[in-house]
Every structure is written in structure tokens, then in C-alpha cells.
């Protein structure tokens, strides 16, 4: 059984406390051992007990308190890093965190530690301004939360989603081929179209346009984003509520309008 020694784990607290206390006891015995030959049996027993229990209680208590506070600090830092990387409205990654994660994956792909393939999708809410103008910004926020939750519901494993603009989201599908990527994009589009959005009891249709690219081989986030954004513009220009998608090799996966 492997012990979790991460900064936020109790395993680290226990192991460091035990090891440190044992070290303190060993040092106490070593330093005091030079006096042992001159001591009477009773004094020797008392010295050994002192060398054992004094570091055990004082050193052990100090180490436990120190490691406990360090664990609390590590947990706080971890929570703050999550907050800093998360969009507060939709609870998905923000633009900076999303691009950083994608670029990290592409770096690993270049080093051949992960699959050198995947896809980037850009999802944009159709006619979103009309929601804010006619229903109010609170309803617009509800729509964004619903869209984000629907997107997350279609993702699996290491797939990630981020909010990269006001009503614009991006999805990265590491290791996915063109066929699966297009199916995911279509599933997102269809599920959002089918989602029930009725703020204050007033039904309002939601739809998204999606531009995407599947890559196989070396690429950059900037290059993928440009291609996906171009396809998003194409989906918007062709009537919205559809997917425009291609693979890096140039084979158009297709688009469907409803």
C-alpha cells in the first residue's frame, strides 16, 4: 500500500512527525551516551527515559503542529489556485487556465509522452445579446451556466472546457480522432438545443454554433484556435445552430444545420 505524501495529505504529517521524532530521540541518546558509563544504574535508567520521552513529547508535539499548519497552508494554496483558474460564473476553467492546460498537453505531445492527437472546439451561444436585452442579465447568466453544464455533461476523462469570452466556450479533447471529435461537437450542439431554458416560466430556445479542428501531429494552440475560430465564423454565417469542423489533414468532417 502506497502512502500519500502529497503536501495536503495526512500521510505526510504522520511520516514526517514520526521520522523527525525518531531523529530527535536518536540524537538525544547519542549525545547523552558519553555520560552513560559514569552513571549509576538508577541514574542511567532515568537518563534513558529522559532521552526517550523528552524528545518524544516536545519534539513530536512541535513537529506535528508544524506539519499540521503546513498541511493547512498547502490546502489553502490549492484552493486558491483552483479559484484563480476557474470562471466564477460557470465553474469551468477561465481563458488563461484553459490555454495553459492545452499548451501543456501539446508540449507533452511534442516530447512524445502523450498521444500527438486531439481536437479543439469553440462553442458560441447564438443570439445571446437578445437574451440579455429582452430577459435581463440575470437570465443571461442562467443561460451561460446551463450551457456550461451541458457541455461538461458531454465530456469524458481528460476532456476539458473553459470559458474564453462572454458567451464563448472552448473544449479540448486530448487524444480524440476526427470522428469522435465531430460526434462530441454534434452532441453538445444537440443537447443545448434540447435543453429546457425557461427563466421565470418563459421558455426561451438556446442554440450554439461550433467551430472545430482535429489535429494529428505537431501543432500549436494559436494555430488550432485560428482554424477553429474560422470554422465558428463559417457556422455563424451559414445560419447558426450547426457545427463546422475539419481535420488537420484537410478532410472536412462536415456540418449540420437544424
134: left (phi over 0), alpha (psi -120 to 50) or beta: alpha
Q: For the chain, what are the domain ranges?
A: 10-84, 95-249
Give the tens place of pLDDT for each residue, 142-176.
999 999 999 999 999 899 999 999 999 999 999 99
Determine which one of 79, 103, 167, 186 is catalytic.
167
Fold of 95-249: Alpha-Beta Plaits (3.30.70)
167 is known as an active-site residue: yes
CB count in 10 Å sphere of residue 55: 22
Give the tens place of pLDDT for each residue, 206-244.
999 999 999 988 899 999 999 999 999 999 999 999 999
Q: With a cut of 60, say whether residue 256 has pLDDT above it.
A: no
Record the pTM.
0.74
Q: Label residues 234-246 b or e (16+ Cβ within 10 Å = b).
A: bbbeeebbbbbbb
Q: 256 with 250: CB under 8 angstroms?
A: no
Amino acid at each position: 500500500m502506497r502512502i500519500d505524501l502529497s503536501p495536503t495529505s495526512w500521510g505526510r504529517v504522520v511520516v514526517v512527525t514520526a521520522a523527525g521524532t525518531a531523529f530527535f530521540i536518536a540524537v538525544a541518546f547519542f549525545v547523552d551516551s558519553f555520560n552513560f558509563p559514569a552513571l549509576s544504574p538508577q541514574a542511567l535508567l532515568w537518563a534513558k527515559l529522559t532521552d526517550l520521552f523528552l524528545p518524544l513529547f516536545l519534539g513530536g508535539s512541535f513537529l506535528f503542529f508544524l506539519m499540521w499548519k503546513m498541511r493547512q497552508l498547502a490546502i489553502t494554496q490549492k484552493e486558491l489556485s483552483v479559484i484563480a483558474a476557474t470562471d466564477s460564473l460557470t465553474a469551468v476553467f477561465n481563458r488563461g487556465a484553459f490555454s495553459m492546460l492545452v499548451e501543456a498537453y501539446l508540449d507533452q505531445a511534442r516530447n512524445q509522452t502523450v498521444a500527438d492527437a486531439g481536437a479543439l472546439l469553440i462553442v458560441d451561444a447564438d443570439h445571446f445579446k437578445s437574451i440579455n436585452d429582452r430577459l435581463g442579465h440575470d437570465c443571461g447568466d442562467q443561460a451561460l451556466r446551463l450551457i456550461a453544464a451541458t457541455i461538461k455533461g458531454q465530456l469524458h476523462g481528460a476532456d476539458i472546457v473553459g470559458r474564453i469570452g462572454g458567451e464563448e466556450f472552448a473544449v479540448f479533447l486530448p487524444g480524440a480522432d476526427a470522428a469522435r471529435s465531430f460526434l462530441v461537437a454534434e452532441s453538445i450542439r444537440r443537447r443545448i438545443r434540447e435543453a429546457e431554458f425557461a427563466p421565470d416560466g418563459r421558455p426561451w430556445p438556446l442554440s450554439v454554433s461550433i467551430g472545430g479542428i482535429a489535429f494529428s501531429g505537431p501543432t500549436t494552440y494559436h494555430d488550432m484556435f485560428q482554424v477553429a475560430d474560422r470554422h465558428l465564423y463559417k457556422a455563424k454565417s451559414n445560419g447558426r445552430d450547426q457545427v463546422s469542423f475539419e481535420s488537420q489533414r484537410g478532410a472536412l468532417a462536415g456540418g449540420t444545420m437544424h
